[in-house]
A and B are shown apart, each in its own frame.
Chain A
């Protein structure tokens, strides 16, 4: 359904259409940021609440998908910053210390399929590298769309993409060398 076809409908109808079409897409995108399904569900709900509120002022200058992606990316980035700020790094520090000697992640890695290894390796990337990889290879957005979505220069997007690939390559190389 095009923007024009649904533009004249009631907000509730549009909301239903958007939920049917994009809820799972947004939830998966949110998961790639927060890596927790409960949080991803909550964030998705927040995205659609904002969307519902903004339907009256949505001018159709972009597609609904692009608009939802913009809200979702902002919401997720906002959440990560907010969470990091609010916990003052305690949880991450604690997690690192508690998990430092945990073999479970490595064991899982070596037992995993190639697909799982790749998926998990991408999710382990720092957020700024992970998001460009996800948006380009998973969401299949163009570099220009990513640039606009993340509010970055195109050169920054490319640099992050290259850096992300290097990190992934090193991750695979290291684990192949020591584990497989």
Chain B
């Protein structure tokens, strides 16, 4: 009881305590703030939620997705191609394949993807594994809409989630929150969070690091592969993640040594649509002990432009509570 009284006394000074410490020098740029609000408001009026953002918002695997995206775009960046771009690239070169793939992307209306995402952590003889398996269907013949199912397992606990995503609204439920909830996605901090993973923000950084992209030609596919070793990748990952993660996570990543990354991107030889993307990362954290970290991210694409129209079930629309 005495302790509680003492705590009450301490809390009476919470305002001063916080103002003198955490809030001692909070920056405020008046003009920038006013401009930002007015500009964002104007953009918001005009903004069309892009198809790709709809896909991204549906994916809950933020960190790994960011890694996948930046890796893919890094590979796609002309600065990182082993050969200089020519005006009429031969389709058998990396540049040619990427250009064809970019054209094919414009024709992409729908696809199905089977997703696997695993994180394995090891410390001494102990290990823990977070596994995620899921499916994603995206269909955009009329308005972009996605249906996402993900099952996660960690430490004996299983969580399943389901989402329907449109350019305006997302509907979601999980085993932890089994009632459907509806969320307006037109203004979304999490969307902004995802936008901060835009790989083009970091192009100057990536241009400094020349990746060796290898091309394998199989019977039906082209496979682009990159294998980045510790020295090349560590700074890129730290700088990349450092700009887009909360402070404490940034500090955590500074303690991580990235030992390597392998990424493959497989395209159909005829259509240049993607068939698979796979990313593996090996890392370790040595802050007060060694924790090994292995990340595997795999997406198999199928039913390209052949996904049946997706509609949000009536009961979801009726039951979903607004957030």
| Residues of the A chain whose Cβ atoms lie less than 8 Å from the Cβ of B34 | 15-16, 19
A75 and B33 contact, Cβ closer than 8 Å, known pairs A89-B152, A165-B8: no
Pairs A-B, 4 closest by C-beta atoms: A101-B288, A115-B17, A101-B289, A36-B246
Selected contact of B159 from candidates A12, A88, A118, CB within 8 Å = A88
Which of these binds chain A: B182-190, B258-266, B270-278?
A: B182-190
Complex formed: what's the CA distance from A35 to B130 in Å?
25
Interface flag for A95 (CB, 8 Å): yes
Which of these binds chain A: B55-63, B135-143, B303-311?
A: B55-63
Complex formed: what's the CA distance from A138 to B288 in Å?
35
Scan B242-271; emit 1 where CB is below 8 A from any A CB, else 0: 000011110110011000000000000000
Task: Find the residue from A20, A53, A101 having the highest chain B CB count within 10 A.
Answer: A101
| Residues of the A chain whose Cβ atoms lie less than 8 Å from the Cβ of B190 | 79, 82-83, 86
Interface class of chain A by DSSP: helix
Selected contact of A48 from candidates B22, B33, B64, B188, CB within 8 Å = B33
| Residues of the A chain whose Cβ atoms lie less than 8 Å from the Cβ of B22 | 31, 116, 119-120, 123
| Residues of the A chain whose Cβ atoms lie less than 8 Å from the Cβ of B150 | 88
Q: Is the CB of B60 within 8 A of A42?
A: no
| Residues of the B chain whose Cβ atoms lie less than 8 Å from the Cβ of A94 | 63, 119, 121, 130
Interface flag for A61 (CB, 8 Å): no
| Residues of the A chain whose Cβ atoms lie less than 8 Å from the Cβ of B246 | 34-36, 38-39
In chain B between 5 and 35, which residues have their CB closer than 8 angstroms to a CB of chain A? 6-8, 10-18, 20-23, 26, 28, 30, 33-34
In chain A between 1 and 49, which residues have their CB closer than 8 angstroms to a CB of chain B? 12, 15-16, 19-20, 23-24, 27-28, 31, 34-39, 42-46, 48-49
Which residue from chain B places its CB closest to the CB of A171 in the assembled complex?
A: B7
Interface flag for A151 (CB, 8 Å): no
Q: Is the CB of A133 within 8 A of B119?
A: no
Instruction: List 8 A–B pairs whose Cβ atoms lie within 8 Å, in order of A's numbering.
Output: A31-B26, A45-B37, A52-B38, A86-B62, A87-B60, A113-B21, A116-B21, A165-B8
Complex formed: what's the CA distance from A20 to B37 in Å?
13
Which residue from chain A places its CB closest to the CB of B23 in the assembled complex?
A: A28
Complex formed: what's the CA distance from A12 to B4 in Å?
47
**On chain B, which size bracket covers the interface?**
35 or more
Interface flag for A154 (CB, 8 Å): no
Task: Find the residue from A12, A28, A137, A173 having the highest chain B CB count within 10 A.
Answer: A137
Residues on B close to A: CB < 8 A?
3-4, 6-8, 10-18, 20-23, 26, 28, 30, 33-34, 36-38, 40-41, 44, 57, 60-64, 119, 121, 128, 130, 132, 150, 152, 154-155, 159, 161, 172, 174, 177, 183, 187-190, 192-193, 246-249, 251-252, 255-256, 285, 287-289, 291, 323
Interface flag for A166 (CB, 8 Å): yes
Q: Is the CB of B17 within 8 A of A19?
A: no
| Residues of the B chain whose Cβ atoms lie less than 8 Å from the Cβ of A172 | 3, 7, 10
- Chain A contributes a number of interface residues (CB within 8 A of B) equal to 69
Q: Is the CB of A52 within 8 A of B18?
A: no
Q: Is the CB of A82 within 8 A of B189?
A: yes
Selected contact of B37 from candidates A48, A75, A91, A137, CB within 8 Å = A48
Interface flag for A145 (CB, 8 Å): no
Q: Is the CB of B17 within 8 A of A89?
A: no
| Residues of the A chain whose Cβ atoms lie less than 8 Å from the Cβ of B41 | 49, 52-53
Q: Is the CB of B252 within 8 A of A90?
A: no
Q: Is the CB of A119 within 8 A of B18?
A: yes
